[in-house]
Chain A
Amino acid sequence: MKRIRVCGPITVFALAAALLFGPARAQSQNAAQTSKSVDAPAGNVEAGKKIFNKYGCYECHGREGQGTTMGGPRIGPNPVPFEYFMSYVRKPTREMPPYTAKVVTDQEMADIYAFLQARAQPPATMPAILK
């Protein structure tokens, strides 16, 4: 099983502000770009995939975490730093339903995070049919 170490943020307040005022699609990229490296719990990609689907995360974010305009924003393959990810999922401030520790353990959160990190990057060049 693949395990991934994740890097997390320091400035949660700044991230929250970005979420409130920035475009939804930019959340993950901005956060990742501005965060400092902090170790996050080890997560299991395969377990994360199962949990991501079983607990309904995919319903709003897509099965690859790609995000939708009619649901949640893109959260993979470059998710927001783990600390913010954890705090927002536990107590979201916008439309997302909460996932408390009663229904998703911290380890499961780490597994989900690892799964999101492992998602495929988009094609490096724009496919002709999208131009």
Chain B
Amino acid sequence: MTKSKKPAVGRRNFLKSVAAGAATLAAPAEALHATPGAPAVPQPSAAMPVLPPLIETDPPAESEVLNVDRTGSDFMVDILKNLGFEYVCCVAGSSFRALHESVINYGGNKNPELISCCHEESSVAMGHGYAKVEGKPLCIFAHGTVGLQHASMAIYNAYCDRVPVYMIVANIIDATKRDPAYGEWPHSVQDAAAMVRDYTKWDDLPISLPHFAESAVRAYKIAMTPPMGPVLLVADSELQENPIQAGITQTIPKLALSTPPAGDSAAVVEAARMLLQAENPVFVADRSARTQAGIDHLVELAELLQAPVIDQAGRMNFPTRHPLNQTSRRAAVISNSDLVVGLEAPDLWSAVNTYHDQVHRTSRPITKSGAKIISISTGDLNIKANYQDFFRYTGVDLSMAADAEATMPYLIEEVKRQMTGDRKRAFQDRGAKLATAHQKALDEARNDALYAWDASPISTARVCAELWSQIKNEDWSLVSVLRHFSWWPLRLWPFDKHYQYIGTQGGGGIGYNAPASVGAALANRKYGRFSVSIQDDGDLLFAPAVLWTAAHHRIPILSVMHNNRAYHEELMHVQRMANRHNRGIDRAGIGTKFEDPTLDFSRLAQSMGVYAEGPITDPKDLAPALKRAIAVVKRGEPALLDVVTQPR
């Protein structure tokens, strides 16, 4: 690595020098005729006006240094490369202009490649979606003030979803180096990370390049250690832009990711004993599986015990067509169980209780009296006080502060060790009944899908069926939230791979789905997978320009609009209040519906360079439109179909 032998001249020193030169040129005549050699008259700071633009042909003062060979930002890019980042998502910002330039020139714009975003919330949400497919973070650059403020909602989602997001935000720490003409004062902050510290896992403000190197590696390690989460580094603009001082160590510390914490051996033995003794155990998995191994191990354990699995859909945890998948029979299965095992289920309480949203909010347990509960979760290992994403406290009988996926192999071995022939035979009988119930539930779901089959607006079940018929032979990946879509794909499609479903937004922040699905599609691209997203209308309206990002970077993804022309969940909430208050039950659409005018998402997408059709209101038009859009995506480009749908 080369090191500059030239003196350090910061960007702002440079600007200041040039500004001073310009001030001299524009000074009153008497100043210009000051006696040569006489001491300069100090100018008051208030005399630093907003200067007219410099003429680029003006010759620089001889003493100024106009070029530098290797800057701190180059070294920062070395670190990013060393950490294996494939992409940097950012909205271009002056406070990290050196990092930006180093990525595209010094780094060759490859590993990481710079992805142009149009909103910092989109940058972070892209990282959120990408990480859930790829299993590692991408990097996000942003202003430490206005950029981070835009990004904060998406950071909160990632925090609640326990997803690694790696942010570098820029700041001008030395107040004397801030250029008032460039808005650098309002873009500077004492403690940039403060505003998101409640929902990030770790942050730091390195004041030297060796410090930056250590903290960058530490941040990566922390982000990737379960429970995973967002981390943030502040990159001082001077540190980025100044040449690397002679003698500064440019060593990047070695990264060894921590192995996730597995359950204590005694607790594992006890859990196995309880599972084998229970007559009707049930697994409740939420963010249990991070990888294919996580899915496969849960399948193995469930099959050993012939125990049902309820998938709360925080991740792709368990194959949807597996006979032991009893998700659609949640209430029946849990009310019949004598042992509930929560696997990375932050909201275990809701799995074992009902909740009643009437004037008097009430709840009651649905488990049998005496039923036991085991929790295997990293939730307690990173919990903060302010934001309440830890859900209601659940009284459990055995709690392992451990990663469920990492614990699974030990639990499998212990169950095998303690298994007896009698129990195995009993389990087979139990499994046969569950298989019958699973098939019945699937038949019922298909039957449910038939209702409103030919309706307009198009039923969500019909959209789901038409879509499946055309992508089922692809290596597909469904990269969207499904909650508002009545979970139809999970009810009807056979999911069995970890990338086929990536869960929800975590914090419930709207505006996640569009960018997260594009981020997931970015991760899928190199594997040649077919990414498909069911895109809520209200969500897309938050930051629709991510469609341009997808078009610009040729990120292939099929977005099928779930265009119910409302913030429909909020519509239902307002309706509930109107009914409760016995008034105006026909007015809940005020402030919740997208009417007068309706939105044309196909034209919105087309304006950003995305192939689009719609609005599609007749179900018969859906199949041919899907065929055309799929052909576009298979060419490597994004496509969007605006489908006007039933509400849910």
> What residues of chain A have their CB less than 8 Å away from a CB belonging to chain B?
23, 25, 54-56, 58-60, 62-64, 66-71, 74, 76-77, 94-95, 97-100, 102-104, 119-120, 122-123, 126-131
**Residues in B neighbouring A60, C-beta threshold 8 A:** 572, 647-648
Docked-complex contact B452 and A98, CB < 8 angstroms: no
Docked-complex contact B357 and A62, CB < 8 angstroms: no
**Assuming A71-B647, A95-B356, A127-B465, what are 10 further A-B pairs, CB within 8 angstroms?**
A54-B586, A56-B571, A59-B575, A62-B459, A69-B486, A95-B357, A98-B579, A103-B582, A119-B452, A127-B450
Given A120-B454, A123-B450, answer yes or no on A66-B459 (Cβ-Cβ < 8 Å): yes
Residue B225 CB within 8 A of the other chain: no
**Residues in A neighbouring B483, C-beta threshold 8 A:** 70
Given A68-B486, A95-B356, answer yes or no on A62-B648 (Cβ-Cβ < 8 Å): yes
Docked-complex contact A129 and B465, CB < 8 angstroms: yes
Alpha-carbon separation in the docked complex, A113 to B575 (Å): 20
Q: How far is the CB of A67 from chain B (nearest CB, A)?
A: 7
Type the 1/0 row for B482-512, where 1 means its CB is closer than 8 Å to any CB of A: 0110110001100000000000000000000
**Residues in A neighbouring B452, C-beta threshold 8 A:** 62-64, 66, 119-120
**Residues in B neighbouring A97, C-beta threshold 8 A:** 575-576, 579-580
Selected contact of B585 from candidates A63, A67, A94, A99, CB within 8 Å: A99
Selected contact of B451 from candidates A71, A100, A122, A128, CB within 8 Å: A122
Docked-complex contact B487 and A69, CB < 8 angstroms: yes
Docked-complex contact B585 and A103, CB < 8 angstroms: yes
Q: How far is the CB of A125 from chain B (nearest CB, A)?
A: 10
Residue B23 CB within 8 A of the other chain: no
What would be 18 A-B contacts, judged by CB atoms less than 8 Å apart?
A59-B588, A62-B647, A63-B455, A63-B647, A66-B448, A68-B460, A68-B486, A68-B647, A69-B487, A70-B487, A71-B648, A74-B451, A95-B357, A98-B579, A104-B585, A122-B453, A127-B453, A129-B465
Docked-complex contact A103 and B583, CB < 8 angstroms: yes
Selected contact of B572 from candidates A59, A99, A129, A131, CB within 8 Å: A59
For A59, A67, A120, the residue with the greatest tally of chain B CB atoms inside 10 Å of its CB is A59
Residue B568 CB within 8 A of the other chain: yes
Q: How far is the CB of A118 from chain B (nearest CB, A)?
A: 13
**Residues in B neighbouring A120, C-beta threshold 8 A:** 452, 454-455
Alpha-carbon separation in the docked complex, A16 to B350 (Å): 24
Q: How far is the CB of A110 from chain B (nearest CB, A)?
A: 17
Residue B111 CB within 8 A of the other chain: no
**Residues in A neighbouring B469, C-beta threshold 8 A:** 128-129
Docked-complex contact B579 and A59, CB < 8 angstroms: no
Q: Which residue of A lies closest to B646 (CB)?
A: A62
Docked-complex contact B444 and A25, CB < 8 angstroms: yes
**Residues in A neighbouring B459, C-beta threshold 8 A:** 62, 64, 66
**Residues in B neighbouring A98, C-beta threshold 8 A:** 579-580
Alpha-carbon separation in the docked complex, A2 to B450 (Å): 25
Alpha-carbon separation in the docked complex, A130 to B493 (Å): 10
Residue B409 CB within 8 A of the other chain: no
**Residues in A neighbouring B614, C-beta threshold 8 A:** none
Q: Which residue of A lies closest to B584 (CB)?
A: A103
Q: Which residue of A lies closest to B574 (CB)?
A: A56
Docked-complex contact A103 and B451, CB < 8 angstroms: no
- The A-contacting residues of B in range 620-648, CB under 8 angstroms, are 646-648
Docked-complex contact A126 and B450, CB < 8 angstroms: yes
Residue B468 CB within 8 A of the other chain: yes
Residue B260 CB within 8 A of the other chain: no
Type the 1/0 row for B350-363, where 1 means its CB is closer than 8 Å to any CB of A: 00000011100000
Q: How far is the CB of A77 from chain B (nearest CB, A)?
A: 8
The 8 closest A-B pairs by CB, nearest first: A122-B450, A97-B579, A68-B648, A66-B451, A64-B452, A66-B452, A129-B469, A56-B575
Alpha-carbon separation in the docked complex, A77 to B454 (Å): 14
Docked-complex contact A59 and B571, CB < 8 angstroms: yes
Residue B446 CB within 8 A of the other chain: yes
Docked-complex contact B586 and A55, CB < 8 angstroms: yes
For B447, B469, B579, B580, the residue with the greatest tally of chain A CB atoms inside 10 Å of its CB is B579
Docked-complex contact A58 and B444, CB < 8 angstroms: no
**Residues in B neighbouring A77, C-beta threshold 8 A:** 451
Q: How far is the CB of B25 from chain A (nearest CB, A)?
A: 69
Alpha-carbon separation in the docked complex, A1 to B12 (Å): 79
Given A25-B444, A129-B466, A130-B446, answer yes or no on A56-B585 (Cβ-Cβ < 8 Å): yes
Residue B599 CB within 8 A of the other chain: no
Residue B68 CB within 8 A of the other chain: no
Alpha-carbon separation in the docked complex, A70 to B466 (Å): 21
Given A98-B579, A130-B492, answer yes or no on A66-B585 (Cβ-Cβ < 8 Å): no
Docked-complex contact A126 and B446, CB < 8 angstroms: yes
Q: Which residue of B lies closest to A99 (CB)?
A: B579
Docked-complex contact A67 and B647, CB < 8 angstroms: no
**Residues in B neighbouring A129, C-beta threshold 8 A:** 465-466, 468-469
**Residues in A neighbouring B358, C-beta threshold 8 A:** 95
Alpha-carbon separation in the docked complex, A10 to B4 (Å): 92
Residue B457 CB within 8 A of the other chain: yes
Alpha-carbon separation in the docked complex, A119 to B31 (Å): 90
Residue B449 CB within 8 A of the other chain: yes
**Residues in A neighbouring B468, C-beta threshold 8 A:** 129
**Residues in A neighbouring B457, C-beta threshold 8 A:** 63
Docked-complex contact B647 and A58, CB < 8 angstroms: yes
Alpha-carbon separation in the docked complex, A89 to B544 (Å): 40
Alpha-carbon separation in the docked complex, A54 to B578 (Å): 13
Alpha-carbon separation in the docked complex, A129 to B48 (Å): 72
Q: Which residue of B lies closest to A71 (CB)?
A: B648
**Residues in A neighbouring B486, C-beta threshold 8 A:** 68-70
**Residues in B neighbouring A67, C-beta threshold 8 A:** 448, 451
**Residues in B neighbouring A23, C-beta threshold 8 A:** 444
Q: How far is the CB of A87 from chain B (nearest CB, A)?
A: 16
Q: How far is the CB of B457 from chain A (nearest CB, A)?
A: 7
Q: Which residue of A lies closest to B329 (CB)?
A: A23
Alpha-carbon separation in the docked complex, A76 to B576 (Å): 21
Alpha-carbon separation in the docked complex, A74 to B461 (Å): 13
Given A62-B647, A95-B357, A130-B492, answer yes or no on A102-B451 (Cβ-Cβ < 8 Å): no
Selected contact of A55 from candidates B568, B571, B572, B585, CB within 8 Å: B585
Type the 1/0 row for B428-460, where 1 means its CB is closer than 8 Å to any CB of A: 000000000000000010111111111101011
Selected contact of B646 from candidates A66, A123, A130, CB within 8 Å: A66
